[in-house]
Homo-oligomer: A and B are copies of this chain.
Amino acid sequence: MIFPQHDCSGCPIRHRAVCARCDAHELELLEEIKYYRSFEAGQTVVWSGDRMDFVASVVSGIATLTQTMEDGRTQMVGLLLPSDFVGRPGRDGAAYDVVATSDVVMCCFRKKPFEQLMETTPHIAQRLLQMTLDELDAAREWMLVLGRKTAREKIASLLAIIARRDATLNLITPKGKLVFDLPLTREAMADYLGLTLETVSRQISALKRDGVIVLEGKRHVIVPDFTRLLEEAGDDNDGGLLV
């Protein structure tokens, strides 16, 4: 691996995208073109097709990428958690609706200067390539979920992804017991999984009944045995799922 994963917690903000080596000079250049933006829960960050004149890192909160057909059917195609990157260097328009699911803070970089920075400091382009490959892997993993898994497996897969991401962000190894809060409504989960919200609700109840998860309230989830959850998800191993 040429560009190793790297914990950027020492940086002013955790730009997985650009801090591959936390180069002081680059950070300085970035400082000049960065600004913060806040969004309220439910607010749309950009509409698909709109001009998007920035790229950004999610600092806190959760946002989603969704596509919608004319008749209203919608499919979530990405979940943006803190440290994730949004935006398409070299492209003018947004390809998807970006919606804040909770209150969200993003660290934005004006696109033009960011693109110039990419040209002068090649390892940023290389780092972005690595991140885009990660996203591509995640999207393809999700194609398997959407195309071939049952409703129960889909729910278990989603819970596993969120649990793992959550654990990783908090520097816990995802193993054995895990506790986290669901950042999505049943409807949003349904949009991610290609299901209806009723089916999501039923399958969550079923997983609860079968002891795979314990629910406190509607959002607080306890996973007594992460391995069991992975089995329910139909995953052969611990590896690889959504970044």
User: In the assembly, how many copies of this chain are there?
Assistant: 2
Count of chain A residues with Cβ under 8 Å from any Cβ of B? 49
A90-B146 contact given A67-B140, A132-B132, A136-B132, CB 8 Å threshold: no
Chain B residues lying within 8 Å of A141, measured Cβ to Cβ, are 67
A91 touches B1 (CB 8 A): yes
Chain B residues lying within 8 Å of A227, measured Cβ to Cβ, are none
- Whether a CB of chain B sits under 8 angstroms from the CB of A109 is no
- Whether a CB of chain B sits under 8 angstroms from the CB of A89 is yes
Interface string of A54-88 (1 = CB under 8 A from B): 00000000000101011101110110000000001
Stretch at the interface among A36-44, A119-127, A198-206: A119-127
- Whether a CB of chain B sits under 8 angstroms from the CB of A45 is no
| Known contacts A90-B126, A95-B240, A125-B125, then 14 further A-B pairs from the complex at CB < 8 Å, ordered by chain A residue | A1-B92, A69-B148, A69-B236, A70-B236, A73-B149, A75-B143, A88-B133, A90-B130, A118-B126, A119-B122, A122-B125, A129-B129, A132-B136, A146-B147
